[in-house]
Structure 1
Amino acid sequence: MSVKQISSQSDYDAVVNASAAVVALKAPWCAPCKEVEPEFTKLAARFSQVTFATLDVDAQASISEPLQVTAVPTFIIFRNGHETARVLGANLPRLESQLVALDAPESSGSDAATARSSVAAWPPMYKQYVAPTHAIVNDSIETRSLEALNVLAASGSDALTAVRSVFARLVSPDPTSVASDADSQFLFYVPFMNETKLHSIILQFRGGEVDGTALQRPYKIKVWVNLPSVLSFDDAASMPAVHEEEVPEPDSEGWSHVKLRYVRFQRVSSVVIFIEGEDDDTPTGLSKVLFIGQSGDKLAMGKLENAHED
């Protein structure tokens, strides 16, 4: 089944009043939304008894505002006009499991068993670093307010899109997303929409090159909390960080686990992250940054919430 595009209230009403439906709420500036689009289309083909649709929260604000959307992408599942589940962020395994739970006809019997098996067989590569009491909290990032210094998109896309991809919850099969530009250093400002407790950070480096030069892995990291914006490189060199260490050697999948002092990261509204490679003259590569912890109450300053709250 093809994916419908909701462009009016009547379109929306027709979709949600189907016997089973899932609506993907997205925005044109949302990198994770673009990343999950092909997989969302594949799910539509598998679950042919479910109506699949997308809704642009900016273009169709009058429809999205009553839904109280706090992050994009968000997937809302309906049964006969009633919301039955909501999946925040690019969490495709959870979305798939919710679709299986709908028990649509084509997902019964052996097909249901296959779908459940595929969900169970889809553990994240970084799962070993996430304690049972914690979760990946990247869905709480206010992606429109991300800031980055000295960043070059390694894949040819624009730098801002590449940075959003690095901090998206979804782990993409694409190679290294960003590289440092003038030297080996990055600076990132990452604001959260929810008050967050951070336990650790995991970084992924999967190699790659820029202009024929092989990229090096992240070697050193510094982290500051609750600053209003990104630091300058001079300030990052002189201002004491809340956390500073050499990045641990990556595992076989390129993941390095940076353990934070949990008591220092209890009420986090933003972090500034400085990353550099060991060789000052070689560009540093970075594929993914994931935050492990707990997401709490919504912060009033989140731009997406302010733009779409009732």
Structure 2
Amino acid sequence: MSLVREINDDAHFFTELQSSGTKLVVVDFTASWCGPCRKIKPVFEQLSTKYSKAVFLKVDVDKCAETAAREGVSAMPTFFFYRNRTKLGQCQGADPTALETNIVRFYDSGEVDDASEGSVAGHMDLTPFIMKAQCECLNESDEHCLAHCLTPDGGYLQSDCDEQLIISITFTQAVKVHSLKIKAPADKGPKTMKLFINQPRTIDFDMALSNTSIQDLELSVSDIEEGNPVQLKYVKFQNVQNLQLFVKDNQTDSDTTQIDHLCIIGSPISTTNMGDFKRVTGKKGESH
């Protein structure tokens, strides 16, 4: 049974995006006269039942011309992927493999269930907005690097020469950062941290020790064992291009610091806003 929702007009599209919250939204921009669209329609419907936690929308570009124009749809079918009203990616053409690959790519990454323990209502996991190629970590172990802790099941990050770490996270777009979730062992998890934002380059350890941070954190054992959200001074993290975390020490002053999972919770600044919709297809009442 298909779980695809058909969009009737431009306002309906915006309402569906807004009500979907942090769920992945997969949108099929289609047209009744498009042969490839008809070909991939049953595949799209099948995927809607296979990935039932996502929201699947079908948008007829003739009925929703303003939405199609605003989103830059130039060929059908085009599939867009959204979360929290923010576009994560897109693919074009009636290619079932490419479509499902993109769904899998975004399906679990970034979702924060508002009903789950430790969730942060109204915000999302910002992992999809991390530009991993431009992230780095000073004093990371060769075997256990930063990339290992940016996903829940990717392994862990471990320090090398001593207990200190400098983690530099770059985002693909400006974000607001609400809180951090850091899961780590009780004995090796970070304790004292200094946070810096929008630095022109990765700071070194001397700078991290001497420079004034935007916020200091003192993590408890329960914070890191349970991976609970640690709220930041939200007003200071309203336009973050990069975030740097200096781990000064760990819970037991051991030589090695370990982080199993680092999750940054917040919201992208650029979102789809109904106020941005403008008529681009002529005056009201004219045919398209």
CA distance in 2, matches of 1:266, 1:84: 34
Partner of 2:190: 218
Residue number among 174, 183, 186 corresponding to 1:195 in the alignment? 174
Instruction: Tell me whether 1:137 sits opposite 2:109 in the alignment.
Output: no
Q: Secondary structure at the match of 1:129?
A: coil
Equivalences for residues 160-199 of structure 1 within 5 A: 162-168=145-151, 171-172=152-153, 176-199=155-178
C-alpha displacement of 1:229 = 1.9
Structure 2 residue aligned with 1:267: 239
Deviation at 1:18, TM superposition (A): 3.6
Aligned pair count? 202
> Would you say the 8 A contact 2:221–2:251 is kept in 1?
no
- The two structures have a TM-score, normalised by structure 2, of 0.56
After TM superposition, the structure 1 = structure 2 runs for residues 233-248 of structure 1, keeping only pairs within 5 Å, are 233-248=205-220
- The structure-2 alpha-carbon separation of the partners of 1:90 and 1:84, relative to structure 1 and needing over 3 Å to count, comes to closer
| Superposed CA RMSD | 4.5
Q: CA distance change for structure 1 residues 253 and 18 in 2, over 3 Å: closer, same or farther?
A: farther
CA displacement, residues 37-83 of structure 1 (integer Å, 9 cap, x when unaligned): xxxxxx79xxxxxxxxxxxxxxxxxxxxx989999x968698898x9
Mapping of 1:30-179 within 5 angstroms?
A: 90-93=105-108, 127-153=116-142, 156=143, 162-168=145-151, 171-172=152-153, 176-179=155-158
Taking a change above 3 Å as real, the CA distance of residues 192 and 239 of structure 1, as seen in their structure-2 partners, is same
Instruction: Give the superposition deviation at 1:254.
Output: 3.6
1:220 to partner: Cα distance: 1.3
The answer to whether residue 269 in structure 2 is matched with residue 296 in structure 1 is yes
Secondary structure, counterpart of 1:289 in structure 2: strand
Aligned equivalents of 1:290, 1:143: Cα separation in 2: 14
Q: Distance in 2 between matches of 1:68 and 1:180?
A: 39
Partners of 2:38 and 2:260 in 1: CA distance:
37
d(CA) in 1 for partners of 2:165, 2:109: 32
Q: Please, which moves more after superposition, 239-248 or 254-263?
A: 254-263
The residue aligned with 1:100 is: none
Structure 2 alignment gaps of length 5 or more: 1-34, 45-49, 52-77, 272-288
> Displacement, 1:195?
1.1
Match of 2:147, as an amino acid? R
| Amino acid across the alignment from 2:173 | N
The structural deviation recorded for 1:278 is 3.8
1:286 corresponding residue in structure 2: 259
DSSP 3-state at the match of 1:240? coil
TM-score where L is the length of structure 1: 0.52
CA contact (8 A) 2:190 2:250 kept: yes
Stretches of structure 1 that go unaligned for 5 or more consecutive residues are: 1-12, 23-42, 45-65, 96-121, 208-214, 299-310
Answer with 1 or 2: which has the greater Rg. 2
Distance 2:260 2:202 in 1: 20
Distance in structure 2 (CA, Å) of the matches to 1:201 and 1:289: 7
Residues 80 and 90 of structure 2 are in contact (CA less than 8 Å); yes or no, is this contact kept in structure 1?
Answer: no
Residue 85 of structure 1 and its aligned partner are, at CA, apart by 10
Q: Give the superposition deviation at 1:259.
A: 1.4
